Amino acid sequence: MIYLLTIVIIILLIPLSYLSFLMIFEYKPKEIETAIFKSNNNNRLPNEFSVTTFNLGYCSLDKDSDFFFDGGKKARAKSKDKVIQNLEGNSSIIEELNADFHLIQEIDEFGSRSYNVNQLEHIISKFSNYNSSFAFNYRLKYLWYPLRQPMGSAYGGLLTLSKYKIESSVRYKLKGEELFPRRLFFLKRCMVVDTIKAKNNKLLYMINIHLSAYDTNGDIRKEQVKYLIEFINDLYDEELNYIVIGGDWNHILPKELHKADMPSWVSLLPEELYQDKFRLVYDKTVNTVRSEDSPYVKGVNFETVIDGFLVSPNIEIVNVKSLDYGFEYSDHNPVKATFRLK
């Protein structure tokens, strides 16, 4: 009897000890924090400029991968060599796009899920002619799942590259959070707001975002979009500033692409965003994300458009195009847009 009781106590203690470990080391960012930023030049923003948004999938979610949260089995890259290959491939894409601003999501500074390859340092060093800002949205000591090959640790976030001087960079915590204990394992969603001074002396607020995924019925995402709408409407002054928001929305952006059989990791944008004075900017002709229930096979995996921009009324949209790289190095395709200040 004592032997069985001992076994039961041990079985109970293991998960309780693990949860305690995660609670002790839980990442708890403040509502508003100064982000890490570097300004290597003092260039002023011209009247016309280009912006890309690109989720790198921590250089581990390439075309041959699947992901356990999406119905697959894996949570980390196949190997360190694969991470390096994907990092170099994604770097080449960024170089080819040659935008004035690059809004990058899911880039790891280190973490066992991406074999501790410092993707952040690599990109900043490779594009040293750009100014940069960075903020974490994921600092997880260790996720012991899937059991056979756990995801492990993850330290990643949002990186913005800018050819123009960054006056300030601020991390804002997005509203909505998973309930305990799920919140211990999930990203701490945020947006990074960079302030850029234009040649006409007005300010451009360049905002890098990555909204939630996998929340039931998209309830947290609804809170985040509501907060975002309120934030930019409070911030916007037609006579003083411009606003560009870009990133991974985890919502289907074009209304006409809505389907009844959508997977749970995508959601529908609240109607008020379509009705707001700010305008959504996307290219519906090329899908920007694919499902990861299995490795990528064109025509088999679910694909849709969730990456794009939202801009203030005093910005003219010159063009926008999603670039089809076949999800070779990431589970996303990049989007590039050109804007003109009115």
Q: Which residue did the predictor score with more confidence, 109 or 7? A: 109
Q: Is the pLDDT of residue 8 over 80?
A: no
Q: What share of the chain in percent tops pLDDT 70?
A: 96
Q: pLDDT tens-digit profile of 99-150?
A: 999 999 999 999 999 999 999 999 999 999 999 999 999 999 998 888 788 8
Q: Is the pLDDT of residue 179 over 60?
A: yes
Establish if 197 belongs to a structural domain: yes
Q: Kindly state the tokens that stand for 25.
A: 């080391």
Establish if 25 belongs to a structural domain: no
**DSSP assignment of 235-269, as one string?**
H--TTTEEEEEEEE-SEE-SGGG--TT--TT-EEP
pLDDT band at 1 (very low <50, low <70, confident <90, very high): low
Q: Tell me the mean pLDDT in the region 269-291.
A: 92
- CATH number of domain containing 160: 3.60.10.10
3-state DSSP helix/strand/coil % of the chain, to nearest 5: 25, 35, 40
Residue 216: per-residue pLDDT: 74
Establish if 10 belongs to a structural domain: no
Residues constituting the chain: 342
Q: pLDDT tens-digit profile of 248-268?
A: 999 999 988 887 777 877 888
Q: Tell me the mean pLDDT in the region 229-246.
A: 96
Establish if 203 belongs to a structural domain: yes
- The pTM (predicted TM-score) of the whole model is 0.95
The count of structural domains within the chain is: 1
pLDDT band at 324 (very low <50, low <70, confident <90, very high): very high
Q: pLDDT tens-digit profile of 30-84?
A: 999 999 998 888 999 999 999 999 999 999 999 999 898 787 888 889 999 999 9
* Distance of alpha carbon 313 from alpha carbon 269, whole angstroms: 19
Establish if 309 belongs to a structural domain: yes
Among candidates 158, 105, 97, 165, which has minimal Cα distance to 130?
165
Residue 7: per-residue pLDDT: 65
Residue 12: per-residue pLDDT: 63
Angle, CA of 296, 298 and 303, to the nearest 5°: 80
State the chain's mean pLDDT as an integer.
Answer: 92
Establish if 3 belongs to a structural domain: no
Establish if 2 belongs to a structural domain: no
Q: Which residue did the predictor score with more confidence, 329 or 77? A: 329
Among candidates 224, 200, 223, which has minimal Cα distance to 210?
224
pLDDT band at 174 (very low <50, low <70, confident <90, very high): very high
Q: Tell me the mean pLDDT in the region 279-296.
A: 96
Residue 160: per-residue pLDDT: 98
Name the residue range of residue 110's domain: 30-341
Which amino acid belongs to residue 278?
F
Establish if 257 belongs to a structural domain: yes
Q: pLDDT tens-digit profile of 302-312?
A: 999 999 999 99
Sheet containing 335-341, strands listed edge to edge, beginning at the edge strand earlier in sequence: 36-38, 131-143, 152-162, 101-110, 48-55, 335-341, 315-322
Residue 9: per-residue pLDDT: 62
